[in-house]
Amino acid sequence: MAPFEALYGAPCTIPTCWNEAGEKLLAKPEIVEDIEAKFKEIREHMRVAQLRQQQYTNHRQKPLEFIKVDMVMLKISMSEVEVDEKLSYPEKPEKILDRKIKKLRNKEIIQVEVKRMTWESENEMREKYPYLFG
């Protein structure tokens, strides 16, 4: 199925000539046949591409089936998750991994690397999460 037909539910019709309607011949039959041949070729190329994508998708999908004797490992990332009205939760750092001093022109800022692999200001971290510095 062509993209236009998939979007609008009708096949694409392209006029071959914009002259006034009437008894006149719109275009030479050779031109019309050439245009129709090009459309068929384009449709065939699109069909081949869609089949290739479908085969690739089907090949990469593996159905999971378990029986009672199978050993399955479940990974749980957090013990307790507090969810607010928007179904989001605040991330709390678990551990301080490293410290560094960032030197600016006029002052030095002490930063700490927390377990989620970001560098934060030590003063802000001490205010928000004092249990990490205990």
Distance CA(126)–CA(102), nearest Å, equals: 17
Domain locations along the chain: 3-13+26-60, 96-133
Mean predicted confidence (pLDDT) in 41-58: 88
38 φ, ψ (degrees, to nearest 5): -65, -40
Distance of CA 52 to the CA centre of its chain: 20
CB atoms within 10 A of CB 105: 4
Q: What is the mean pLDDT of the chain?
A: 77
pTM above 0.75, yes or no: no
Q: How many CB atoms lie within 10 A of CB 67?
A: 5
Give residue-wise pLDDT tens across range 69-120. Answer: 887 776 666 666 677 777 777 777 777 888 889 898 899 988 888 776 567 7
